[in-house]
Amino acid sequence: MAIATINPATGETVRTFTELTEAEVADRIGVAHERWHNYRRTTFAERAALLHATADLLEKEADDVARMMTTEMGKTLASARAEALKSAKGMRYYADHAEEFLADEPLPDASVVGASRALGRYRPLGVVLAVMPWNFPLWQVMRFAAPALMAGNVGLLKHASNVPQCALYLEDVFRRGGFAEGCFQTLLVSSRQVEPILRDSRVAAATLTGSEPAGRSVAAICGDEVKHTVLELGGSDPFVVMPSADLDRAAETAVTARTQNNGQSCIAAKRFIVHTDVYDEFARKFVARMRALTVGDPFDDTTQVGPLATEQGRTDVEELVDEAVSAGATVLCGGQRPEGPGWFYPPTVITDITREMRIFTEEVFGPVASLYRVADLDEALEIANATSFGLGSNAWTEDPGEIERFIDDLDAGQVFVNGMTVSYPELPFGGVKRSGYGRELSSHGIREFCNLKTVWVG
């Protein structure tokens, strides 16, 4: 894929960019490595001041940054602005809490290990490469960059090839926030250049948010090099509705959970699993709300669902839906691409899905909801867990016993009860199974790229 800004609402190529050469990449890695040796010795207060200054700039420039995001990947302008502000909030969270999260962990009675003093101390690993996706072009990066920088690491960003302006902005805003050259750099490179970067001895670790194949590749390379990784991959999150649920709230939330970011979110609810006692009523409410959504120009304030980010992305969604329909699935709304320019796809609900259909097991990265009818809690859990993914999950019930079953038995990194899955700086974020490993955000996220060093003093 060329490194270019292509407006997904029109298909127009707005701007193209030249890839860095191997020599240029090597030079930037060298700058990062040299910078780390000094930067790791800065204090938490010094790093926090830089991060707060950068957050100030991002907040001030949120409107312009939002227009850039919308142009590059098609999210609605309102959601783009919200993402910019959320990113600034995440930066402030780590600026304010990093020292607490990485405080020494002393052994209360060091004499039990024959020492006068014994503790665990967190130290930064070094240069961290982040391979990031286009769907949340600022927030995904900040989830890595803010904690990594506050821990004393330095960052290299290989962003998705269709959001180069967002990638360059991030390097620029960190520089203008006061971070020294080499603390955070954007590498405009193709995916084929990732392996030699990972194998460079000056790169200590890597984090990737993206597809399962990309995660497998990065994990294999880093495994061969014995380097630490954090992977956040795909998701096919269940949204389970039981008879005691508030159906109006559940249906309204379901629409947002499925169509957020134009349906292009790993933690978007994708499989709606509804108890037979309330299935018909929920389906009626849900389909009516999905059908009523306004699809159009993401710069228009009345638009609720914009285009998919890439032409191939829309093709992938179409193929999954069309294949399911040809095999007997029923479309309750949507299901046909509109005429005209841009990579639009309508909010869609399909049912009568069987296990032989690809849509049963594969993630649909667009505003398409799969609807299932189940007889009881056990069947709901069985279908919810019948996926190779395990990122987020949602359960709607007022029954205390059912709540505990969902919390314990849903195979996911996150369980949200009577609400939709959302990433918060304060809560750990990550998955199980083929949704990846490791955790971002909260105190756990900042510790991922630290060496927990055991200290024993006799």
Which of 166, 183, 222, 266 is catalytic? The answer is: 266
- Please spell the DSSP secondary structure of 308-363, one letter per residue: -S-HHHHHHHHHHHHHHHHTT-EEEE--SPPSSSS-----EEEE---TTSHHHHS-
> Taking a C-beta distance cutoff of 8 angstroms, is the pair 94, 150 a contact?
yes
Query: Terminal CA-to-CA distance of the chain, rounded, Å?
Result: 58
CA–CA distance, 366 with 259 (Å, rounded to integer): 8
> Taking a C-beta distance cutoff of 8 angstroms, is the pair 295, 165 a contact?
no
DSSP letter at 219 equals H
> Taking a C-beta distance cutoff of 8 angstroms, is the pair 116, 192 a contact?
no
Would you call 318 a catalytic residue per the annotation? no
Q: Which helix (H) or strand (E) holds 274?
A: strand 269-275
Tokens 């505990």 correspond to what residue?
404
CA–CA distance, 299 with 278 (Å, rounded to integer): 37
Would you call 232 a catalytic residue per the annotation? yes
Which of 72, 83, 171, 232 is catalytic? The answer is: 232
How many helices and strands, by DSSP H and E, does the chain display? Answer: 15, 20
Q: If we measure between CA atoms, which residue out of 151, 181, 157 comes closest to residue 47?
A: 151
The residues annotated with a catalytic role in the active site are 232, 266
